[in-house]
Structure 1
Amino acid sequence: MQNAHMSALELKHAGLDARISEENQRPNPDMATITRLKKEKLKIKEAILGL
């Protein structure tokens, strides 16, 4: 069960990473969105490390 949860978190983490990259590629990146995504990504990373 814990492996499935960890896999789900890792997928979500990778998805956020992709969204951050996409936002950075835009001609006029929204820094508020990038900051929010990075905070969300950090929370997920902390959850993964806590498992």
Structure 2
Amino acid sequence: MYDHRFLVVYAAFLVIVLGTSIGFLAMVLSLFRLGEPLTSANSRTMVITP
């Protein structure tokens, strides 16, 4: 039989890992969304200025 303490620790570990990975992915996605207008503006200025 499983030990209840082991299951609690395992569940807490899974929650922490999933939470940090989801937060990291959200941060990366937000950085990419913030970076898109900057890169598009840079490409526009590069296209405009020869």
The alignment's TM-score, normalised by the length of structure 1, stands at 0.50
Counterpart of 2:28? Answer: 18
Task: Indicate the structure whose relative CO is greater, using CA pairs within 8 Å and at least 6 residues apart.
Answer: 1
Structure 2 residue runs without a partner (length 5+):
1-10, 39-50
The alignment's TM-score, normalised by the length of structure 2, stands at 0.51
Which structure has the bigger radius of gyration? Answer: 2
Structure 1 residue runs without a partner (length 5+):
29-51
Across the aligned residues of Structure 1 and Structure 2, the Cα RMSD in angstroms comes to 1.3
Percent identical among aligned pairs is 4
Q: Partners in 2 of 1:4 and 1:26 — Cα distance?
A: 33
Q: What is the aligned length?
A: 28
